[in-house]
Structure 1
Amino acid sequence: MTLHFHQKKHTLNFKFKAGTSRGSLTSRDSYYVFLTDKQQGIQGIGEASPLKLLSIDDRDDLAALIQEFGLHFINIPVPTQAKEIYELVATTVPPELPSLRFAFETALLDLLNGGKRILFNNNFSHAQAPIPINGLIWMGDEKFMMDQVQAKLDAGFNCIKMKIGAIDFEKELAILSFIRSRYTKEQITLRVDANGAFTAAEAPDKLRRLAALDIHSIEQPIQAGQLMAMGDLCQQQILPIALDEELIGISGRKDKLNLLEAIRPQYIILKPTLLGGFLSTMEWIEVAALLGIGWWITSALESNIGLNAICQFTAQYPVQLPQGLGTGQLYTNNIESPLEVRRGQIFYNLEQQWGCL
């Protein structure tokens, strides 16, 4: 089989100014990679969408790199099983380009399964079981955040994740206190994501104040790279800590194990686009299991092409905690897809068709 390769850039526009502690987002670029078997009339599609100022492959020459590595896949025997795909991509695309690894894994898995955007055959992709997700509250002024909270509660979410660290901490606590005054921790699970906004010195006190509100966990309370400080925070067990940015750029099973052994977090957050695709994510899950560390999977603001792949991958595991997979509704010009969010869950609706790319 001889494959043909091409790519296409798509700029996604946010419905609102999406605030984080690293700044606000109004748009983002995605690159779709297409691997086509013209003889069979089958095409696999993947997505490379590095996050600005966060992904290690956020670089100006990304389109040229996609073209360079895409050509490596056109004159090789096409893998006949998923394991071969993971090995092929890992030996072709360097770990310094994690979003490209994710994109080519996705395109090849799609191709392997007939080019129908069904990458993994499981209860989710066959529309037999949804995945529970958290409702995401973006940073902004107090009214904007409160409006989002009310909308998520009205929509039936029972797990809410709020980004903190951009506005006054007292106002953020007030919003969380409002939710907790109406709903117990058994009714509504509250997660917060600081994106490294706290200093190591102030973190313990802020974690204590958050813990008083029965917060489930906090993602990345201090900036990545402070292993001793982060490890100390985790060992104090003030509030369960989930590593996020801390995992970026760590490749190889040994290095992953060393990091988690050094910090011993309660949870890790897994974003395949940032971590190097599905093979790398599987390694993180295996290492976390050895150490008794929990995890959940989160999209990284991909379009529905990438989000669909991550959802189907997630459903390969016995999911118990709500996952971070509710980002498909953020854009005014996302690709139409069978993905639907209802009552705090994401579904694959087989009656809905994929839109054109």
Structure 2
Amino acid sequence: MTPSSTIKFSYIKRNLIFRFDAGTSRGVLKTREVYWIKAIHADHPEVEGWGEAAPLVGLSPDYSPDFENFLVKMLQTAENQPWSQSGKEIIDQVRSMVPFEFPSIRFGLETALLDLIHGGKKKISSNPFYDLNEPIPINGLIWMGDRDFMLEQIDQKLTEGFDCIKMKIGAIDFEQEIALLKYIRSRFSPEEVVLRVDANGAFSNQKALEKLRRLADLSLHSIEQPIPAGNWKAMHQLCQSTPLPVALDEELIGVKEKEQLLDTIQPQHIILKPTLLGGIQETQAWIGLAEERGIGWWMTSALESNIGLNAISQLASSLHPSIPQGLGTGKLYLNNLESPLEVHSGKIHYNPSLPWEYPA
């Protein structure tokens, strides 16, 4: 592909169906719409690059009834661009073309183009995960539900060999959640199993610190987004007084003033979701600023299909993460795209002996 190559774009929409009611403090998810973007070189249509635009209801800045219409317009605009064959230049071009307010389109478009320039082999960059089949440690995710459902998930994850468990909290009775965490701690020490919790902003500003003190007694690694996003002063106060490290998640979405946010809140960790933050360059920028300030980070998927999950896993791998990532969402759906992605022994693997199902 030459720097002036003409690229044709199209997309496929799929309504993914959850295997169970996926509960969060913001409500229950049953289905999830994603848009698979295909990029082909006009002279070589047999080589296809695939990306995924997956706006998440209630979270994504670009989730709206008009999303599909805007996607069509962006792809039409993209067809009139002279695309580079340099990965870095492609990312810059996409960033210039797609507004900041449409982060999932940015990520889907740039990963489709990166896949295309790497030969349409579902590779977006050089990275140990894809190139060397080097697995990435991940956390086992425990979804909200009644006590028995959550207990069943906990037992399953521990049996599967996960040594990092992340439990969503904030929807059922707090005492029941404490009891479930105590159950894990009664079986495994902090050295054996790392525990994370994710409140998705469920705690009130007034009661958050008290709850964090209770949770800290269980030797947890961190809590994600304990209070709702948008109140930097309250979050700063919480991060300064907490006995439990705080990780910002929703707080980062839609924020252009990265340095100001990090310097104001001074969190212990941040969590990166490329689909929600605006793609590869925005994600890398957050990480660079965090590392300059001694702030920890990890990357997670945002309930994408395996096309998006594969791209995020490769991005995470290219940045050489030091702790478990949040990339274990591939088996959530009844109708996900079959892929070489496998999860076992607490890690996500890329198994090149398994084929990719063709998007349709």
TM-score between both structures, scaled by the size of structure 2: 0.97
Question: Relative to structure 2, which stretch is displaced further, 33-42 or 338-347?
Answer: 33-42
SS at match of 2:129: coil
User: CA-to-partner distance for each residue in 1:81-119, whole Å, 9 max, x for gaps?
Assistant: 111011101110000000000111111101110111011
Task: Report deviation, 1:238.
Answer: 1.3
User: CA-to-partner distance for each residue in 1:194-236, whole Å, 9 max, x for gaps?
Assistant: 0000001100110000000001100000000111110011111
Q: CA contact under 8 A between 1:126 and 1:348: conserved in structure 2?
A: no
Question: Relative to structure 2, which stretch is displaced further, 156-165 or 230-239?
Answer: 230-239
Task: Report deviation, 1:80.
Answer: 1.5
Look up the equivalent residue of 1:197 and give its one-letter code. Answer: A
Look up the equivalent residue of 2:16 and give its one-letter code. Answer: L
After superposition, residues 183-332 of structure 1 pair within 5 angstroms as: 183-251=188-256, 255-332=257-334
Q: CA contact under 8 A between 1:127 and 1:349: conserved in structure 2?
A: no
Look up the equivalent residue of 2:349 and give its one-letter code. Answer: F
| Counterpart position of 1:9 | 13
In 2, the alpha carbon distance for the partners of 1:221 and 1:185 equals 21
In 1, the alpha carbon distance for the partners of 2:136 and 2:55 equals 24
Match among 151, 168, 171 for residue 173 of structure 2: 168
SS at match of 1:124: helix
Q: Establish whether residue 84 from structure 1 lines up as the match of residue 86 from structure 2.
A: no
TM-score between both structures, scaled by the size of structure 1: 0.98
Query: Structure 2: 5+ residue runs without aligned partners?
Result: none
In 1, the alpha carbon distance for the partners of 2:19 and 2:108 equals 25
SS at match of 1:310: helix
Query: Structure 1: 5+ residue runs without aligned partners?
Result: none
Task: Report deviation, 1:76.
Answer: 2.3
Question: Relative to structure 2, which stretch is displaced further, 271-280 or 115-124?
Answer: 115-124
In 1, the alpha carbon distance for the partners of 2:127 and 2:199 equals 34
Aligned residues: percent identity?
Answer: 54
| Counterpart position of 2:147 | 142
User: CA-to-partner distance for each residue in 1:11-36, whole Å, 9 max, x for gaps?
Assistant: 00000000000000110100111111
Q: CA contact under 8 A between 1:14 and 1:330: conserved in structure 2?
A: yes
Runs of 4+ deviating beyond 3 Å: none
| Counterpart position of 1:346 | 348
Question: Relative to structure 2, which stretch is displaced further, 175-184 or 30-39?
Answer: 30-39
The alignment yields a C-alpha RMSD, in angstroms, of: 0.8
User: CA-to-partner distance for each residue in 1:240-296, whole Å, 9 max, x for gaps?
Assistant: 000000000012xxx101000000000000000000001100000011011110000
In 1, the alpha carbon distance for the partners of 2:133 and 2:95 equals 32
Q: CA contact under 8 A between 2:209 and 2:242: conserved in structure 1?
A: no
Q: CA contact under 8 A between 2:213 and 2:242: conserved in structure 1?
A: no
Task: Report deviation, 1:356.
Answer: 1.3
Match among 40, 53, 57 for residue 36 of structure 1: 40
In 2, the alpha carbon distance for the partners of 1:121 and 1:115 equals 14
Q: CA contact under 8 A between 1:126 and 1:350: conserved in structure 2?
A: no
Q: CA contact under 8 A between 1:18 and 1:24: conserved in structure 2?
A: yes
| Counterpart position of 2:99 | 94
Look up the equivalent residue of 2:353 and give its one-letter code. Answer: E
State how many pairs are aligned: 354
SS at match of 2:130: coil
Question: Relative to structure 2, which stretch is displaced further, 12-21 or 80-89?
Answer: 80-89
In 2, the alpha carbon distance for the partners of 1:173 and 1:289 equals 32
In 2, the alpha carbon distance for the partners of 1:320 and 1:306 equals 22
SS at match of 2:318: coil
After superposition, residues 9-158 of structure 1 pair within 5 angstroms as: 9-40=13-44, 41-158=46-163
User: CA-to-partner distance for each residue in 1:294-331, whole Å, 9 max, x for gaps?
Assistant: 00000000000000000001001121110000000100
Q: CA contact under 8 A between 2:129 and 2:135: conserved in structure 1?
A: yes
Look up the equivalent residue of 2:76 and give its one-letter code. Answer: L
SS at match of 1:125: helix
Task: Report deviation, 1:147.
Answer: 0.1
